[in-house]
Every structure is written in C-alpha cells, then in structure tokens.
C-alpha cells in the first residue's frame, strides 16, 4: 500500500510540474506577443488593434501550445538544457509562427502587421531560451558552490591536448564533475594556442613544459586527450610526463569514441596497446557482409584468443549459424556464454571436438554444412612443441589436413587458415608444422572448388600464454621480469585488429594465396618490458629488475613475414599483402603427409624432424640435429625481404 501511495504521489508531482511548466510558457508567450506590439509601435499601441488583440493572443497561445508539445518542450529538465533543446526551441517557435500565419489568413485578419510575426518569433526565442539557459546557469553555480563546500579536495588536472577532444573533456568536467576534478591547464604543441584560454582554462605551453606546468599548478593527475595519437607519439608524451610522479590516464582512440563525444567514463589507464598504437583498421564491410551474412560459419579453436575474437567479429555480420569447434570445454563454455549474451539473434552451435578426430569432424560437417571455415585451432607455444614434436605434427599438420579434406568433400565455399610469421624460414618445430599446413592448404587449392587461403601474421597482444600476461604476473609478484635476449624483436598487433584483417583477407582469396598482414615495425621485447613496468607506476631496473634468461628452444631473434620467393605484393587493402609460392603437387604432398602420420606417435624426435625437412627444406639444420632439445637463434636469412608497404 505504501508503494502505491508513493507511486501516486510521484505521478501527482509530475502532473503538477508539467502544469507549472505549461503555465510558465503561456506567460512567456503572452509577454512575447505583447512585447512585439510594443516594439512595433514604439510602446504606443493604436486603439484599432485592441478589439482583436485578445483573439490574436488566444490563437497564438493555442498554436504555440500545440507546436511546443509536439517537440517535447514540456518534458525536459531545464537545468540540463543544451544544444538539442535550443534546436527543439527553434523548430517549435518556427512552426508556431507558420501556424499562427495560417490562423491569421483563415481568420481574414488582414490588419495584423506582418512584421509582428518576426518580432514575436525573436521574442519567443529570447524569453523561453533565456529562461531555460538562465536556470541551467544558476543551477550549475549553486551545485558548484554546494559541492565545493562539501568536497573541497578536488584533484587538479592537466589536460594534454587542446583540440576538440580536450575541449569536450573540459566541458564534461565543468558540467558534471566539478566536485571531483579541477582542470587547471592545457598543454599542447600547437604554438598558435599558447596563452589562449578554453572555457577559462589557459594553454600554458608545449608538451616539453609538462613538468614545469605541473609544478606551477600543483597538478595531481594528467589526462592525455589526443585520440588520434600514434604509438610513437604516446611514447613521446609519456617521456615528457615521466619526471612527474602523478597518475596518467587517457581517452580511447578515435575509433572507440562513440559519436565523437568524450566522457569521463571513457577515461582509462594507459595500456601497452596505446604505446604500440597502430592506425585503426578500415574494413570493406560490404564484402565481409556478402561473405558471411545468412551463411553457416565454422570456427575451429573457437575458445582461443584469435578464435574467440573471430567469433565476436563475424557475429556482427549476421551469419545464419556459427559452429564453435573447440577441444577445451571451459574455453568453449565461456565464449558460447558471451556470444549468447551479446548476439542473441545469431544461432550458435558449441561443439566439443578435436580437429584430429576424423569421425567427429565428419559428423559436424555432415550435420551443419558450413559454407565458410575459419581454421584457428593450433598448438602455438614454440618451446612446448620442441619438446613434443609428434603432437605438433598431429594437430597443426594432420588436423589441418583433416579439415581441408572435409571442406573439399562437403563443398565448403571458403577455407581460411590462420598461420604465423614463424612459418617463414622456420627455426622451430611449431613454425615448420605451420608451414606444412600452408603447403597442404595450397596444394588442395589446385584440385578443389573450395577457395583455400592462409593468413600469416605475428604475435597478438594479450593472447593466452603470450609475453604480456607473463610480464604482468611477474610485475605483480615484484619481479624480476625475464626477457630471453636483449636484442629479441617481435611484430605485434592487437587481437581485434588481427581478427578483422583475417575476415577481410578471407573475402579476397581466389584460392592458393598466402596473405601477409602488415605488422608495422618490430618491437624489442625488452622495451616492451620496460614500458609495462613504467605503466605499472614502477621504475625499470630499480623497483623491478629485468633478467635475461637466454633464448628458448626454437626461438629466433627476429621474425619474418615473407620471403623473396613469395613475391609479397600489394592488395586493395593497405594492410594486407599477398605472397604466391609455386604450389606443390597434391599427390606428392599427400604421400609425405601419410609418412608423417605413420611416424607421429612412434618415431624419435630427430627422425620425425628430418622427415619434416623433406617438405620444409628451409627448416634450420640445427633443429633437426638437436631433435628439439636445444635453443636455436637465427637472424633473417639472406633471401628474406622486408614487407613492402603501399606507395
């Protein structure tokens, strides 16, 4: 009963408030029409107009009441009046003026001065708009005083970047967060802005002066408001901020700032992806839509880092069904639950299955008839595959063969295999087995209507078991952070970026291509470690030590993305290149694979690796001789060419 009384009371208050708002508008409209008459006739209204004045006023009020209600002018809270309300006021007043003109014509009121319509429109805009924005200003002033009295301890903030994003951030702070933050200055490298003010806050100089500005203004927090900043620019900004021991945060990249708005809720800690920042990926959405919409798509390794992100990306393009193939039950459970919540309109089929299990995979293909297969399942950890070469062969090579054969037999339209830069001039069992998978996929393309392609890229940031999660664990434990070699370099890209480009490459393939993704510039692993330590608020080699542990089995100092034989060349997409190697005869490849299959479970590691070298002669000789037991380091071979970029 109390709840009912409370609800009734709230409804009565709402009705009372709306009635009061309408009454205030009626008073303002009356005043605007009278003011129009007074201004038109220099505050001396001729007697001839008085007989019709009350009728004109009634007609004006009725038309305005209808038009303002039509645009929702009685519903908003005036203390939140903004640009949208001003636009709505303009539309309401303009339509009301037009409606009142029709009223005058239909009523044959020929004596009504036409100039009054313009003056009345202006007076309505000024009176109604002035009252609304005046109440908003008074409310903000009162709220600011109240908040300052209650919470005098506000954090003094320096905004780095005096562009549109910085201005929007300042406006957001001054509007809603004055109790917590006080923006005290801007820093920007644009000399034209030095000494200027934005909403009363000065631009005090270039980024090089950040330490001095912080000391002068007592800055307690820095926010980087440059959503277009590249990784290199972010590093430079952090170097300028390094002497200042205050928290440093940033707003997301321009591709993540929705509708061009910047809000306090979007501000986050700087992460390593910002320092390795790359340009946002531009996709040909239409071609991907044509590839996926209304079709059955199978993703192998659906619970892995790349496989799960592929599922998230492709679900946006409305496939009729997504078949999630994953060996690990928990990983499959997690991605299935996430996709159910995020994409309720997409049919999902979770399948616990091993890609090496021919009967199980045959059953899945027969039941679901996929049109597109995205093959991300693989053993990927280099040292682990050195110690278990037979498992690398079974999963990476023979599992891929099983999927390729089934795709051919069941008329799959497109088969996209995820490969790795470690397949180029491999120095590891893992790299060699992925190269073998590429060879088989390419061989199948010669005899099948299915379009078989491979997509090759380097390391992805934050994937399971990758260097970043390991570094974070070591930093959280107080160190040391272990790096294998001071000159170890790797290519990196984010998981979403890699997955988006895989989908894009899948639309390009005609069959037999190995697509190579532009990975940008290689990064020193030790630099990555130092950046991550700094982002954790600690000092490298002081708070957290860095130890060099020596190279692990099968590792290279440098990874490569293409070789001279592959003729890596441009495609229509600036971040996707294509390499074409002469395909091997399918019958020859099949015989060698059958020999590998016979040896996978029983042969000693050296013999198995020597058999791999028959098909992958570029595999380092040291790997074969060591039998997977020793570390091998190799600089780029003489025939390796850098990835060519557009232009």
Check residue 636 and give its pLDDT. Answer: 34
Check residue 645 and give its pLDDT. Answer: 34
Check residue 454 and give its pLDDT. Answer: 87
Q: Is pLDDT at 635 greater than 50 in this prediction? A: no
Alpha-carbon gap, residue 487 to 557, rounded angstroms:
7
Higher pLDDT, 511 or 204: 204
Alpha-carbon gap, residue 408 to 437, rounded angstroms:
15
Check residue 258 and give its pLDDT. Answer: 44
Question: What pTM was estimated for this model as a whole?
Answer: 0.59
Q: Is pLDDT at 534 greater than 80 in this prediction? A: no
Q: Is pLDDT at 451 greater than 50 in this prediction? A: yes
Closest CA to 535 of 242, 156, 146: 242
Q: For the chain, give the mean pLDDT.
A: 78
Average pLDDT of the segment spanning 280-297: 79
Higher pLDDT, 592 or 302: 302
Average pLDDT of the segment spanning 28-45: 84
Q: Which residues carry out catalysis? A: 422
* % of the chain with per-residue pLDDT over 70: 77
Q: Is pLDDT at 146 greater than 50 in this prediction? A: yes
Check residue 143 and give its pLDDT. Answer: 60
Check residue 639 and give its pLDDT. Answer: 31
pLDDT band at 275 (very low <50, low <70, confident <90, very high): low
Q: Is pLDDT at 359 greater than 90 in this prediction? A: yes
Higher pLDDT, 530 or 122: 122
Q: Give the tens place of pLDDT for each residue, 224-268.
A: 888 777 777 888 888 888 788 788 888 765 444 444 455 555 677
Q: Is pLDDT at 633 greater than 50 in this prediction? A: no
Check residue 152 and give its pLDDT. Answer: 53
Closest CA to 517 of 548, 540, 494, 535: 494
Higher pLDDT, 118 or 2: 118
**Residue-by-residue DSSP string for 134-162:** HHHHHHHHHHHHHHHHH---PEEEEEE--
The C-alpha torsion from 107 through 113 and 118 to 120, rounded to 10°, is -70
Range scoring the smallest mean pLDDT among 53-57, 144-148, 306-310, 575-579 = 144-148
pLDDT band at 557 (very low <50, low <70, confident <90, very high): low
Q: Is pLDDT at 25 greater than 70 in this prediction? A: yes
pLDDT band at 638 (very low <50, low <70, confident <90, very high): very low
Check residue 632 and give its pLDDT. Answer: 36
> What are the Cα distances from residue 630, in Å, to 108, 261, 625?
102, 54, 9
Alpha-carbon gap, residue 64 to 70, rounded angstroms:
10
Alpha-carbon gap, residue 246 to 251, rounded angstroms:
17
Check residue 93 and give its pLDDT. Answer: 87
> What are the Cα distances from residue 622, in Å, to 288, 388, 628?
43, 17, 9
Distance in Å from the first CA to the final CA of the chain:
75
pLDDT band at 41 (very low <50, low <70, confident <90, very high): confident
- 189-196's contacts with Cβ under 8 Å and 24+ in sequence apart are 190/162, 193/162, 196/162
Q: Which residue has the tokens 């557009």?
A: 646
> Structure tokens of 94?
């303009």
Check residue 168 and give its pLDDT. Answer: 85
Q: Give the tens place of pLDDT for each residue, 169-183.
A: 888 888 777 778 888
Q: Give the tens place of pLDDT for each residue, 361-386.
A: 999 999 999 999 999 999 988 888 88
Q: Which residue has the tokens 């309720």?
A: 344
Higher pLDDT, 609 or 255: 609
3-state secondary structure 51-77: HHHHHHHHHHHHHHHHHHHHCCCCCCC
Range scoring the smallest mean pLDDT among 282-286, 385-389, 432-436, 521-525 = 282-286
Q: Give the tens place of pLDDT for each residue, 315-332.
A: 988 899 999 999 999 999
Check residue 151 and give its pLDDT. Answer: 47
Q: Which of 128-142, 300-314, 481-495, 598-612 has the highest mean pLDDT?
A: 300-314
Domains along the sequence of the chain with CATH: 2-147 (no CATH), 155-270 (3.40.50.720), 293-459+493-519+559-626 (3.40.50.720)
Q: Is pLDDT at 476 greater than 90 in this prediction? A: no
């Amino acid at each position: 009963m109390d709840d009912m009384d409370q609800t009734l009371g709230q409804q009565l208050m709402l009705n009372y408030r709306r009635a009061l708002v309408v009454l205030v508008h009626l008073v303002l409209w009356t005043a605007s029409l009278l003011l129009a008459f007074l201004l038109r006739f220099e505050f001396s209204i001729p007697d001839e107009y008085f007989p019709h004045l009350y009728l004109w006023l009634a007609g004006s009020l009725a038309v305005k009441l209808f038009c303002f209600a039509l645009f929702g002018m009685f519903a908003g809270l005036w203390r939140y009046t903004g640009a949208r309300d001003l636009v709505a006021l303009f539309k309401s007043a303009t339509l009301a003026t037009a409606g009142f003109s029709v009223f005058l014509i239909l009523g044959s009121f020929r004596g009504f001065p036409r100039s009054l319509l313009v003056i009345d429109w202006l007076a309505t805009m000024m009176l109604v708009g002035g009252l609304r924005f005046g109440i908003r200003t008074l409310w903000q002033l009162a709220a600011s005083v109240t908040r300052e009295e209650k919470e005098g301890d506000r954090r003094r903030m320096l905004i780095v970047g005096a562009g549109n994003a910085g201005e929007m951030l300042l406006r957001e702070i001054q509007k809603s967060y004055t109790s917590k933050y006080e923006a005290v200055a801007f820093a920007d490298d644009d000399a034209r802005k030095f000494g200027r003010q934005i909403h009363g806050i000065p631009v005090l100089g270039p980024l090089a002066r950040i330490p001095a500005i912080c000391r002068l203004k007592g800055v307690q927090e820095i926010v980087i408001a440059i959503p277009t900043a590249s990784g290199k620019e972010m590093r430079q900004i952090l170097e300028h901020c390094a002497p200042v021991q205050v928290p440093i945060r940033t707003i997301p990249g321009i591709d993540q700032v929705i509708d061009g708005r910047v809000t306090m809720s979007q501000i986050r800690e700087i992460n390593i992806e910002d320092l390795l920042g790359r340009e946002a990926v531009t996709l040909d959405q239409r071609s991907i839509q044509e590839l996926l919409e209304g079709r059955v798509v199978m993703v192998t390794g659906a619970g892995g880092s790349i496989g799960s992100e592929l599922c998230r990306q492709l679900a946006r393009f409305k496939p009729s069904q997504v078949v999630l193939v994953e060996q690990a039950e928990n990983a499959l459970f997690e991605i299935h639950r996430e996709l159910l919540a995020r994409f309720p309109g997409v049919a999902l089929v979770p399948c616990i299955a091993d890609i090496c299990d021919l009967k199980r995979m045959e059953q899945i293909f027969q039941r679901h008839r996929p049109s597109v297969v995205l093959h991300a399942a693989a053993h990927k950890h280099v040292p682990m595959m050195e110690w278990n070469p037979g498992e690398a062969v079974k999963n990476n090579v023979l599992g891929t063969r099983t999927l390729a054969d089934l795709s051919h037999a069941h008329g799959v339209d497109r088969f996209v295999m995820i490969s790795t830069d470690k397949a180029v001039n491999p120095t590891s069992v893992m790299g060699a087995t992925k190269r073998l998978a590429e060879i088989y996929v390419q061989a199948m393309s010669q005899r099948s209507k299915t379009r078989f392609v491979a997509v090759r890229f380097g390391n992805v940031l934050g994937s399971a078991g990758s260097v970043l999660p390991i570094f974070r664990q070591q930093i959280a434990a107080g160190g040391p952070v272990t790096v294998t070699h001071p000159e170890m370099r790797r290519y990196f890209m984010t998981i979403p970026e890699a997955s988006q480009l895989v989908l894009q490459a899948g639309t390009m393939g005609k069959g037999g291509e190995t697509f190579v993704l532009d990975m940008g510039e290689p990064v020193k692993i030790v630099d990555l470690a130092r950046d991550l330590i700094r982002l954790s608020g600690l000092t490298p080699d002081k708070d957290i030590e860095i130890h060099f542990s020596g190279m692990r089995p099968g590792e290279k100092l440098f990874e490569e993305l293409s070789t001279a034989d592959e003729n890596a060349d441009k495609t229509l997409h600036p971040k996707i290149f294509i390499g074409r190697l002469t395909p091997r005869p399918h019958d020859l490849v099949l015989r060698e694979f059958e020999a590998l299959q016979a040896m996978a479970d029983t042969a000693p590691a050296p013999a198995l690796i020597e058999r791999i070298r028959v098909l992958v002669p570029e595999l380092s000789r040291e790997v074969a001789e060591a039998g997977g037991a020793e570390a091998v380091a190799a600089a780029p071979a003489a025939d390796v060419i850098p990835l060519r970029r557009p232009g």
